Chains A and B, each alone.
Chain A
Amino acid sequence: MKTVIETKNLYKTYTETEVEVKAVNGIDLSFAEGEFAAIVGPSGCGKTTLLNLLGGLDEPTSGSVIIDGTDISTLSSRQMIDFRMNNIGFVFQAYNLIPVLTARENAEFIMHLQNRPKAEREARITELFKAIGIEGKEDIRPSRLSGGQQQRVAVARALASKPKFILADEPTANLDSHATTELLDIMRKLNEEENVTFIFATHDQRVIDRAKRVVYLEDGKVIRDKTEK
């Protein structure tokens, strides 16, 4: 399978306090197309930092992140933003939908940024809303949706532009078990149907149980990398 993302000897050291913290300590990882992987570990092990580095939201102290053949450290800040828009989908713990936009407008937001034609946007959003099971709520603003529904819209937003992979940081942390199960079902289904790579940072056992691959981190290092057979 084609590798979509790869890290080489990746380090991220924080020197903001007197004590130097190696949040990511020499990680070499690669994720292939269509993977459904979870990065797990105790709090402070470097999950979120690794995810931020993979998404180009943070810069490594050393090492490189290569996405679909592009070393993202060579990109300027503007180029990185465009690169994220075209290649990476994000799902955040707190949903982070734009409160003044409706569910549909939130989902098609990235496609707007990409200047995709209206017909294409409408077709894609209709397809995704059907897949995530919130048809009929397209014109509702996030504040009137439940947490689970908001997170499903966030997934639709992440998937709308058909990115190479999706980074999801604790996507189920604010959801009850029913909403978590539904969301994971949807993501797994989309992973299989659209062959899009999902990478989670999580310590939610329900997510870990559904992942096809689990990468265990401790003190910024990969201590175990287990793939479902």
Chain B
Amino acid sequence: MNLRIAWRNIWRNKKRTLITISSITLAVVMAVFTRSFQEGTYAKMIENAVGKFTGYVQVHQKDYWDDKTIDNGIEVNDTLVREILSVKNVEGVNLRLESFSLASFGNSTKGTLVMGIDPEKETQMLDLKAKMIKGNYIRPGDRSIILGSKLADYLKIDVGDTLVLLGQGHWGQSAIGAFPVKGILKMPAPDIDRQIVFMPLMLAREFFSFENGVTSLVVISEESDQAQKITDAINASIDTTQYKAITWQEMSPEMLQQIEGDKVGGIFMIAILYMIIAFGVFGTVLMMTEERKREFAVMVAIGMQKTKLMLVSFYETILMNSIGIILGVIITVPLIIYFNIYPIEMSGEAAESIEKLGVEPVLPTILRLSIFINNIIIILVITGISSIYPLISLLRLKVIRSLRR
């Protein structure tokens, strides 16, 4: 009966109820959509620059991250790899040897990041095969290289040409070599695409004169959100006097800072939106209560407890919220899916600033249940708070005075 009264009550003033429901729907759409864009962009940034490149956790010689020279690389051994693999949620380890070299072709020269990789194992991580736009992917025994498309454009080098690399090898030895270009690939992060040269790990070790050498052991795990736990567990099982595991947050503090800063800005905007909605709901519930005081007084007079009246009023708020939230979800889900499949492509200065972070200048959304749940809880809480005063006024209802209205 209480629920029936509440349901019919909210439709007594259809226009007002529809406006209130619309404002709640709008809040859900705006909040969830904005947060989905934010989180989608962050996820893309992290995936581009972390998930598909550095990995969420890496193990190095303990001083390597502060001083990234090849001399701080390590001669990898089975024990270290075994210890890392023994940690829960670790699915594999990719070995990389990387250092900077000067690349030259024709009259063009450019500083590059030369990365020795296991071409087969990195298929899972870097997924380089899928990024090939010209030529062929390298195999473990090859003596050729593949390079980023922007670097190739800069050097005006093509598949079949030979790239000269000049750098410094292990312990000050010269690293000089000429390598045929087997293929050109397009890395999603433009900054990386502009400077990357991949070669098989064995070839890199030979080029840098570093037998069994690696600079990074990239930890493979599907549990990207468990990075800190995995890092702690690895550090607990390896010899930390020699090695150190670090998370992507430590590897890319600028990105973390950018994300956190942006997140605060976004949340502030949504908070303002929530405040407006809260006042809207407060106004509606207060009006609905005030204009029916006489009716409520009659109900109390004939035997309805005030707590039951409060329950009816509470149901009214819940019903309006639920309709608003359900409509909001129905509208938002397809929008999020659409913009996830067809992300907004940025242009101009905004695109350039994003590219500088090594991220594709696109704004994808992400369909994440937690975004819906969090925002729905927030809306329920603020509308719940908004209806406290009207509910309390019911508890203080003076029957005689209200009957005289």
Please, which residues of chain B bring their CB within 8 A of the CB of A82?
303, 305
Whether a CB of chain B sits under 8 angstroms from the CB of A57 is yes
Tell me if B300 is interfacial: C-beta within 8 Å of chain A. yes
Q: In the complex, how many angstroms separate the beta carbon of B315 from the nearest chain A beta carbon?
A: 13
| Known A-B contacts A57-B399, A92-B403; A99 and B301 likewise in contact (beta carbons under 8 Å) | no
Which A residues between 74 and 98 are near B, CB-CB below 8 angstroms?
78, 81-82, 84-86, 89-90, 92, 96, 98
B238 within 8 A of partner (CB): no
Tell me the nearest residue of chain B to A92, going by C-beta.
B298
- Asked if B305 and A78 sit within 8 Å, CB to CB, the answer is yes
Q: Determine which of A86, A100, A109, A113 lies in contact with B12 in the assembled complex, contact meaning CB atoms within 8 Å.
A: A100
Query: How many interface residues does B have (CB within 8 Å)?
Result: 21
Kindly state the separation between the CA atoms of A84 and B247 in the bound complex, as whole angstroms: 69
Q: How large is the interface on A (under 10, 10 to 19, 20 to 34, 35 or more residues)?
A: 20 to 34
Contact between A86 and B303, CB atoms less than 8 A apart: yes
A196 to chain B, nearest CB (A): 15
Q: Which residues of B contact A99 (CB under 8 A)?
A: 12, 295
Is B5 engaged at the interface, CB distance under 8 Å to the other chain?
yes
CA–CA, A19 to B1, complex, Å?
45
**Minimum Cβ distance to chain A for residue B298 (Å):** 4
- Closest B residue to A83 by beta carbon equals B303
Q: How far is the CA of A166 from the CA of B4 in the complex (A)?
A: 27
B136 CB within 8 Å of chain A:
no
Q: How many A-B residue pairs have CB under 8 A?
A: 56
Whether A57 pairs with B301 at a CB distance below 8 angstroms is: yes
A94 and chain B: residue at smallest CB distance? B294
Q: How far is the CA of A172 from the CA of B400 in the complex (A)?
A: 20
The answer on a CB contact under 8 Å between A96 and B300 is: no
Give which listed residue, A52, A58, A96, A113, contacts B298 with CB less than 8 A: A96
- Complex Cα distance, B305 from A82, in Å, reads 8
For A55, the closest partner residue in chain B by CB is B301
Q: Which one of B5, B295, B303, B400 lies within 8 Å of A96 (CB-CB)?
A: B295
Residues of B253-301 at the interface with A, using a CB-CB cut-off of 8 Å, are: 294-295, 298-301
* Chain A nearest CB, measured from B368 CB (Å): 40
Find out whether the CB atom of A101 lies under 8 angstroms from the CB atom of B400. Answer: no
CA distance A95 to B148 in the complex (A): 84
Q: Is A226 an interface residue (CB 8 A)?
A: no
Contacts of B298 in A (CB 8 A): 90, 92, 96, 98
| Pair B403/A101 contact, Cβ less than 8 Å | no
Asked if B15 CB lies within 8 Å of chain A CBs, one says: no
Let me know if A98 and B5 touch, CB within 8 A. yes
Determine whether A110 belongs to the interface, using a CB cutoff of 8 Å to chain B.
yes
Distance in Å: Cβ of A39 to nearest Cβ of chain B: 17
B9 at the interface (CB under 8 A from A): yes
Q: Report chain B residues within 8 Å CB of A81.
A: 300, 303-306
Known interface pairs A58-B400, A92-B403, A98-B295. Does A84 touch B12 (Cβ–Cβ under 8 Å)? no
Tell whether A100 pairs with B8 under 8 Å between CB atoms, given A57-B400, A92-B403: yes
Known: A81-B304, A99-B12. 14 other contacts (CB 8 A): A57-B301, A57-B403, A58-B400, A78-B305, A81-B300, A81-B305, A84-B301, A85-B303, A90-B301, A98-B295, A98-B298, A100-B5, A101-B8, A110-B303
Q: What 5 pairs across the A-B complex have the smallest Cβ distances?
A: A85-B303, A100-B8, A96-B298, A112-B1, A84-B303
Q: Measuring CB to CB, which residues of chain B are less than 8 angstroms from any residue of chain A?
A: 1, 4-5, 8-9, 12, 294-295, 298-306, 308, 399-400, 403
Complex A-B: 29 CB contacts under 8 Å: A52-B400, A57-B301, A57-B403, A58-B400, A78-B305, A81-B300, A81-B304, A84-B301, A84-B303, A85-B302, A85-B303, A85-B304, A89-B302, A90-B301, A90-B302, A96-B295, A98-B298, A98-B299, A99-B12, A100-B8, A101-B5, A101-B8, A105-B1, A109-B302, A110-B302, A110-B303, A112-B1, A113-B304, A157-B302
